[in-house]
Chain A
């Protein structure tokens, strides 16, 4: 029973992750401003990868590979937001009239 439950949950996670990735790629190609595109890519890299990897771990059960998957996922969660942050910061620093594009918090 519990195995079926885990498989079902894993499948659900996996499919949701695929959907998130699909929408992320769609956004990456359809949006035209860099911050919007960065947002789309970051969604794929954080939520999408989370759902796909959790789904894989649930589908395959606990093993050494699952532990490595967890490590990969920690690594991606550490690095992907930083990359997005750097892209956004570069955009804010180089575009002179950033206030026209979006709200900027004064620091």
Chain B
């Protein structure tokens, strides 16, 4: 833009300048409409503020009305849709087809799980759940790529600051949080194991149990600091557990598919339990991994 266009410059440059809208001296203007002088209207500070305030006031006058109208219209649309939907529990609802009938009637004997939801998630649609576990695994891997600290992406100053923060946290450890965590953590772990192992027969299973397990580890880590968490969960253990969970799932489900999926239920009576456990490990590692990586960049 700031380039000076004069007679000596080539036609290409002049064409480029014309396309860019650069100003040329009027007598040298080629194929440009007559220019009007720019209207440089620059309001004063007070004028600007006053206009801004005016605009805001107008906006706030209209905002409640517009919000109400939008909400009412949305609610009306949704309510009309609900009124037109088939009744709850009707016999000829579209959901009552042969698929759900099969799941409900043969789920227990074909997959060995009393809980139909678990039978569906892990038995019939096990590949879907395997994909979900892979997504969680890959999410942690991606976050690790971005946030994990090592000697190449950390300066000494950052390390020093981190150490200082940790020392400060150790000195001023929160007594209330520690006492409550001391009482609650065992119960949280117990409940997590209960939910994990009972997914076969009652509501629960890998995802919910794993989340509770991860939350327990996070609570422990927040209350007692990094050092004490790393006694049982350092980076090596973390990687081993995470990979072991996914591998266990893949191998078990592979065997299950290979020997004929629903033909041979009794050979793999404990399969649902083990897969639930594997999913739980992956989910718990994902939860804790996100927490640790986002808060201090290492596990």
What is the interface of chain A, defined by CB distance below 8 A to chain B?
75, 78-79, 82, 85-86, 89
Tell me whether B101 is interfacial, beta carbon within 8 Å. no
Query: For residue B184, which residues in chain A have a CB less than 8 angstroms away from its CB?
Result: 75, 78-79
Distance to closest chain B CB from A91 (angstroms): 14
User: Is the CB–CB distance between A82 and B183 below 8 Å?
Assistant: no
Q: How far is the CA of A79 from the CA of B180 in the complex (A)?
A: 7
Number of interface residues of B (CB under 8 A): 6
**Neighbouring B residues of A82 by C-beta, 8 Å:** 176-177, 180
Interface 1/0 per residue, B178-218 and A, CB below 8 Å: 00100110000000000000000000000000000000000
Interchain CA distance A15-B174 in the complex, whole Å: 36
Q: How far is the CA of A86 from the CA of B180 in the complex (A)?
A: 12
Say yes or no: B174 contacts A86, CB within 8 Å.
yes
Residue with the greatest number of chain B CB neighbours at <10 A, chosen from A75, A82, A86:
A82
Task: Check if B183 sits within 8 Å of A89, measured CB to CB.
Answer: no
A79 to B223, CA, bound (A): 13
Chain A residues with Cβ under 8 A from B176's Cβ?
82, 85
Contacts of A85 in B (CB 8 A): 174, 176-177
Give A50 Cβ to nearest chain B Cβ, in Å.
Answer: 18
Once the chains bind, are B183 and A78 in contact (CB under 8 Å)? yes
- 8 additional A-B pairs beyond A79-B184, A82-B176, beta carbons within 8 Å, are A78-B180, A78-B183, A79-B180, A82-B177, A82-B180, A85-B174, A85-B176, A85-B177
A76 to B147, CA, bound (A): 34
Of chain B, the residue at the smallest CB distance from A82 is B180
CA distance A99 to B143 in the complex (A): 40
In-complex Cβ contact of B174 among A75, A78, A79, A89 (8 A): A89
Docked Cα-Cα span, A104 to B176, in Å, equals 18
Chain A residues whose C-beta falls within 8 Å of the C-beta of B174 in the assembled complex = 85-86, 89
Residues of chain B within 8 A of A86, CB atoms compared: 174, 177
Shortest C-beta distance, A60 to chain B (Å), equals: 19
Of all chain A residues, the one with the shortest Cβ separation from B172 is A93
Min Cβ gap A87→B in Å is: 12
Task: List, sorted by A's number, 15 A–B pairs whose CB atoms are closer than 8 Å.
Answer: A75-B184, A78-B180, A78-B183, A78-B184, A79-B180, A79-B184, A82-B176, A82-B177, A82-B180, A85-B174, A85-B176, A85-B177, A86-B174, A86-B177, A89-B174
> Given the complex of chains A and B, what is the CA–CA distance between A89 and B169 in angstroms?
13
Q: Which of B52-110 contact A (CB under 8 A)?
A: none
Residue of A nearest to B184 (CB): A78
* CB interface residues, B 157-185, toward A, < 8 Å: 174, 176-177, 180, 183-184
Q: Which residue of B lies closest to A85 (CB)?
A: B176
Q: Which residues of B contact A78 (CB under 8 A)?
A: 180, 183-184
Complex alpha-carbon distance, A90 and B189, angstroms:
27
* Min CB–CB distance B168 → chain A (angstroms): 10
- Residues from chain A with a CB closer than 8 A to the CB of B183 are 78
* Distance to closest chain B CB from A27 (angstroms): 21
Question: What is the CA–CA distance of A56 and B142 in the complex, to the nearest angstrom?
Answer: 45
Q: Mark B234-271, 1 if CB is under 8 A from A, else 0.
A: 00000000000000000000000000000000000000
Least CB separation from B219: chain A residue: A79
Distance in angstroms between the alpha carbons of A79 and B176 in the assembled complex? 10
Q: In the complex, what residues of A have CB within 8 A of residue B180's CB?
A: 78-79, 82
Among residues of B, the one whose C-beta sits closest to the C-beta of A75 is B184
Tell me, in angstroms, the Cα distance from A85 to B177 when the chains sit together.
Answer: 9
Q: Measured between alpha carbons, how far is A42 from B180 in the docked complex, in Å?
A: 17
Which 7 A-B pairs give the minimum distances between C-beta atoms? Answer: A82-B180, A85-B176, A78-B180, A82-B177, A82-B176, A78-B184, A86-B177
- The docked-state distance in angstroms from the alpha carbon of A89 to that of B222 is 15
Q: How far is the CB of B254 from chain A (nearest CB, A)?
A: 39
